[in-house]
């Protein structure tokens, strides 16, 4: 489907984001007469003429300086000319300026911009960690210059001192992830997107839009500023974590509830609308058709009907499935700071990639993630509920670096018909709960259009993306509304953004039978990646949640993809003990029995209380 992706937080998500831009901030004074930006897609667009190779541009100080001057001019024009209430957008814009400041040698300004973020951050860990590395680098560079042993030693000392002052229980997950990113750094990985994604766009269009220009700045920052510090950064983060071997408390075990078999509770058809499920793992929990076959409906990546119950794997890659599963475990172990053979191999593999290995490696990891995703989500959805009966709705996600197929009105209309057909199938099977751990937005379509060379200007692509997106959003909204007896549960997304501002779907859709779920960790602390916003009503554990991969291996993965099925699981258990509950009543009881946190940002589900409330309603 066009610009739709699974909301997961492993494999390619780590690779493509391992050196994301530093998060920074901006003062909050805004003139009343400035145009107000209410949606991310309404930000102005710019184009940058690129001659020759992008790799030459990021390696050449002179060529990069000319490009940087244009990017700085346009970024400042947006910050100064528009009222942007969304904090995440402002942080991204100022983070871009901070990198330009550092690369231009203005370390005092880079440091000052990094300090501004503290007034804008909301998540506790972000308040403590955002911009920390850039501050250490800026302070060290102002004393010793931006390279050399004295510089590296100063970065280590400053960074270690900053970390030592932080509460470990608040930042431990984030520091583990930062360490993982540092361990995976390598030149081929840093330059991979530039070589394989952005350069073909430049070759086709002769330019690059403001959607991708910040990535070019980030690539130079990582290549010339961060990569030389890799041993230093890994050592500092490793030393900090080694000194604090304390696991967070697990609040979820005491809240969990498993329904005992043989109690005569009602069977509950539950759909996992995802990338497909290895049904051999759930033989006793399948809803079967008249022929005894698992109930499923599937569409391929062109939104045409498919007979495949799982993501198709080319014959030449099927032999690599065990290796793909081992890599998934390696990423999981790295995220938890577990030293395992799989983690060691992932670090070796990715940090030593050759230039010609990047594309096949990333596409295989993407494919593996898609192949595994639906089964992992299904395992969470069905856990502890012998009365759940699984219905499969398969959607096929892209895994290639270049979109395939490219966006078009014809594809958007097929997507729309497939959405309605899938919901109609769920209705025919008597489905009561649907989990959807996927999403997309209008700017994603816009980026795909640019990659495909469609649209002469950024404004052309903006208009086309809006047209195609609206077709999809209206179709999903209509399909959900056509099934008022079904509770649709969806993941908030992993972009650390306001899902309503970025127009994520389904997460940003408002309907009485749709519930959007954010992610926290085992202690109930907000996950660094989770998106948020007015549609996010409850939070569930989405950090290192163990479930099945195809074939039966159990691996812990992270993402709002793992939080959403926790709530779908809860709703199905509530319906087992009280089948009369409507979607509106399910949402009301799930929200009312959840625990509000003191900061007002989270409502932590309490399955034991919610199931007890459902049973009490049943009399």
The answer to whether residue 16 scores a pLDDT higher than 60 is no
Are the beta carbons of 328 and 555 closer than 8 angstroms?
yes
Given a cut of 80, whether residue 79 has pLDDT beyond it is yes
pLDDT value at 2 more than 60: no
Residue 558's pLDDT band (cuts 50, 70, 90): very high
With tokens 């057909």, the residue in question is: 421
Q: For the residues 200-216, what does the mean pLDDT come to?
A: 95
DSSP assignment letter at 44: -
121 vs 68, residue with greater confidence: 68
Average pLDDT of 363-386?
97
What per-residue confidence (pLDDT) applies to 15?
A: 41
Report whether pLDDT(11) > 50: no
Instruction: Give the Cα separation of 150 and 152 in Å (integer).
Output: 6
For 327-355, how does the pLDDT look when each residue is reduced to its tens digit (9 = 90+)? 999 999 988 888 899 999 999 999 899 99
Query: Residue 256 domain-assigned?
Result: no
In this predicted structure, the answer to whether residue 4 has a pLDDT above a threshold of 70 is no
pLDDT tens per residue across span 565-574 = 999 999 999 9
Tell me whether residue 454 is in a domain: yes
Same domain, 417 and 564: yes
Query: Quick check: is 41 in a domain?
Result: yes
Domain assignment of residue 329, yes or no: no
Domain boundary among 224, 242, 260: 242
Residue 215 covered by a domain: yes
What domain range includes position 57? 5-242
- Can you tell me the distance from the alpha carbon of 176 to that of 360, in angstroms, rounded to the nearest whole number? 27
Within this chain, do residues 601 and 503 fall inside the same structural domain, yes or no?
Answer: yes
Does one domain contain both 227 and 274? no
CB-based burial label for 104 (10 Å; 0-12, 13-18, 19+): middle
Sign of torsion, CA 39 44 48 49? positive
pLDDT band, residue 600 (cuts 50/70/90): confident
- Does residue 447 lie within any of the structural domains? yes
Q: Which of 242, 258, 290 is the last residue of a domain?
A: 242
Q: Is-contact 435 565, C-beta < 8 A? A: yes
Residue 13 confidence (pLDDT): 41
Q: Which residue has the higher pLDDT, 611 or 24?
A: 611
Residue 8: predicted pLDDT = 46
Q: Are residues 160 and 305 in the same domain?
A: no
Pair (272, 238) in one structural domain = no
The Cβ-side half-sphere exposure at 17, using a 13 Å CA radius, reads 15
SS3 track for 549-585? CCCCCEEEECCHHHHHHHHHHHHHHHHHHCCCCCHHH
Cα dist from 366 to 332, 346, 386, 406, whole Å: 15, 15, 32, 18
Question: Mean pLDDT over residues 349-377, rounded?
Answer: 95
Residues 6+ apart with CB under 8 A from 409: 467, 468, 471
Whether 148 and 232 map to the same domain: the answer is yes
Q: What confidence score (pLDDT) does residue 22 get?
A: 33
3-state secondary structure of 545: strand
Q: What mean pLDDT is predicted for residues 460-488? A: 98
Provide the Cα torsion 342, 348, 350, 351; round to 10°.
150
Assigned domain for 172 exists: yes
Which of 243, 253, 251 has the alpha carbon at shortest distance from 172?
A: 243
Q: What is the pLDDT of residue 118?
A: 77
Cβ-contact 401, 448 below 8 angstroms: no
Contacting residues for 551 by C-beta, under 8 A, at least 6 apart? 278, 321, 322, 325
Q: What integer is the mean pLDDT of 128-153?
A: 96
Q: Where residue 456 sits, what CATH number does that domain have?
A: 3.40.50.200
Residues 219 and 286 in one domain: no
The three-class DSSP label of residue 5 is: strand
- Contacting residues for 417 by C-beta, under 8 A, at least 6 apart: 303, 475
Q: How many CB atoms lie within 10 A of CB 150?
A: 12
Q: Work out how many domains the chain is built from and give that number.
A: 2
pLDDT greater than 50 at residue 193: yes
The pLDDT assigned to 71 comes to: 98
| Section 145-161 average pLDDT | 97
Kindly tell me if the per-residue pLDDT of 3 is higher than 90.
no
Strands 438-439 and 296-298, bridge-based pairing: unpaired
Does some domain include residue 367?
Answer: no
Q: Is the pLDDT of residue 14 over 50?
A: no
Report pLDDT for 9. 45
Question: Is a pLDDT exceeding 60 seen at residue 31?
Answer: no
Is it the case that residue 23 has pLDDT exceeding 90?
Answer: no
DSSP string, 74-141: HHHHHHHHSB---HHHHHHHHHHHHHHHHHTT-HHHHHHHHHHGGGT--SHHHHHHTTHHHHHHHHHH
Measure the CA–CA gap between 221 and 28, rounded to whole angstroms.
27
* Domain match, 155 and 79 both: yes
- 311 and 205 in a single domain? The answer is no
pLDDT at residue 219 greater than cutoff 90 = yes
Asked if residue 505 and residue 411 are part of one domain, the reply reads yes
Average pLDDT, the chain: 93
> What is the distance between the alpha carbons of residues 55 and 358, in angstroms, rounded to a whole number?
15
Name the band, by pLDDT with cuts 50, 70 and 90, for residue 245.
Answer: confident
- H or E, element range at 491: strand 487-491
Nearest to 601 by CA among 542, 534, 545, 543: 534
State which of 242, 277, 307 marks the end of a domain. Answer: 242
pLDDT at 119: 80
Instruction: Report residue 32's pLDDT band, with 50, 70 and 90 as the boundaries.
Output: low
6 falls in which pLDDT band (50, 70, 90)?
low
Crossing angle of helices 168-184 and 341-351, in 10° steps, is: 50
Do residues 181 and 293 both lie within one domain? no
Q: Token pair of 194, please?
A: 């530039």
Q: Which helix (H) or strand (E) holds 272?
A: strand 268-274
pLDDT, tens digit (0-9, with 9 covering 90-100), for 521-544:
999 999 999 999 999 999 999 999
Res 247: pLDDT = 85
What is the pLDDT at residue 7? 54
**Residue 239: predicted pLDDT:** 97
Question: CB–CB of 14/559 below 8 Å?
Answer: no
3-state secondary structure of 381: helix
Which of 30-44, 109-123, 133-147, 230-244 is the least confident region? 30-44
pLDDT band at 45 (very low <50, low <70, confident <90, very high): very high
In residues, how long is the chain?
Answer: 619
Check if the beta carbon of residue 76 is closer than 8 Å to that of residue 97. Answer: yes
Same domain, yes or no: 575 and 610: yes
What are residue 604's phi and psi, to 5 degrees?
A: -85, 120
Please report the pLDDT score of residue 130 as a whole number. Answer: 92
Query: Judging by beta carbons within 10 Å of its beta carbon (0-12, 13-18, 19+), is residue 535 exposed, middle or buried?
Result: buried
pLDDT at 36: 96
């Amino acid at each position: 489907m066009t610009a739709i992706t699974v909301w997961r937080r492993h494999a390619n998500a780590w690779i493509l984001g391992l050196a994301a831009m530093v998060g920074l901030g901006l003062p909050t004074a805004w003139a009343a007469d400035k145009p107000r930006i209410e949606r991310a897609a309404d930000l102005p667009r710019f184009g940058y003429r690129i001659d020759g190779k992008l790799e030459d541009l990021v390696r050449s100080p002179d060529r990069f300086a000319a490009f940087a001057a244009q990017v700085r001019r346009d970024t400042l024009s947006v910050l100064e000319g528009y009222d942007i209430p969304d904090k995440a957008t402002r942080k991204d814009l100022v983070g871009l300026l901070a990198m330009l400041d550092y690369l231009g040698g203005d370390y005092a300004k880079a440091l000052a911009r990094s300090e501004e973020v503290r007034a804008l951050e909301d998540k506790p860990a972000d308040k403590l960690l955002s911009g920390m590395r850039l501050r250490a680098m800026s302070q060290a560079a102002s004393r010793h210059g931006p390279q050399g042993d004295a510089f590296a030693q100063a970065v280590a000392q400053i960074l270690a001192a900053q970390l030592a002052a932080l509460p470990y229980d608040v930042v431990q997950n984030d520091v583990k992830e930062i360490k993982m990113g540092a361990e995976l750094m390598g030149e081929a990985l840093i330059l991979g997107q530039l070589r394989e994604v952005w350069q073909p766009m430049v070759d086709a269009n002769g330019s690059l839009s403001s959607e991708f220009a910040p990535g070019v700045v980030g690539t130079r920052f990582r290549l010339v500023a961060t990569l030389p510090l890799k041993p230093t950064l890994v050592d500092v983060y490793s030393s900090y974590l080694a000194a604090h071997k304390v696991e967070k408390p697990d609040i979820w075990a005491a809240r969990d509830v498993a329904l005992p078999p043989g109690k005569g509770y009602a069977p509950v058809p539950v759909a996992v609308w995802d990338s497909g499920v290895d049904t051999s793992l759930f033989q006793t929990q399948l809803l079967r058709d008249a022929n005894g076959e698992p109930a499923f409906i599937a569409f391929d990546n062109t939104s045409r009907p498919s007979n495949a119950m799982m993501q198709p794997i080319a014959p030449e890659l099927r032999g690599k499935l065990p290796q793909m599963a081992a890599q998934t475990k390696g990423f999981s172990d790295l995220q938890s700071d577990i030293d395992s053979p799989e983690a060691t191999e992932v670090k070796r593999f990715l940090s030593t990639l050759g230039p010609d290995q990047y594309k096949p490696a990333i596409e295989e990891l993407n494919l593996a993630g898609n192949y595994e995703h639906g089964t992992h989500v299904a395992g969470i959805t069905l856990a502890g509920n012998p009365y759940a009966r699984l219905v499969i709705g398969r959607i096929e996600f892209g895994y290639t670096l270049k979109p395939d197929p490219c966006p078009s009105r014809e594809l958007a209309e097929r997507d729309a018909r497939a959405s309605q057909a899938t919901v109609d199938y769920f209705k025919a099977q008597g489905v009561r709960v649907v989990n959807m751990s996927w999403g997309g937005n209008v700017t994603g379509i816009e980026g795909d259009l640019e990659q495909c060379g469609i649209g002469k200007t950024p404004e052309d692509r903006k208009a086309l993306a809006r047209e195609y997106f609206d077709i999809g959003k209206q179709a999903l909204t209509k399909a959900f509304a056509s099934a008022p007896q079904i509770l649709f549960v969806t993941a908030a997304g992993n972009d650390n953004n306001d899902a309503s501002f970025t127009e994520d779907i389904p997460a940003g859709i408002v309907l009485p039978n749709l519930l959007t779920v954010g992610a926290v960790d085992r202690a109930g602390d907000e996950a660094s990646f989770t998106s948020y916003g007015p549609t996010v009503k409850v939070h569930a554990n989405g950090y290192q949640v163990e479930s099945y991969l195809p074939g039966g291996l159990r691996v812990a993965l992270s993402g709002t993809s793992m939080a959403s099925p926790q709530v779908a699981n809860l709703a199905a258990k509530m319906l087992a003990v009280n089948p009369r509950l409507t979607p509106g009543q399910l949402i009301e009881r799930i929200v009312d029995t959840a625990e509000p946190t003191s900061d007002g940002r989270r409502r932590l589900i309490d399955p034991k209380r919610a199931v007890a409330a459902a049973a009490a309603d049943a009399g």
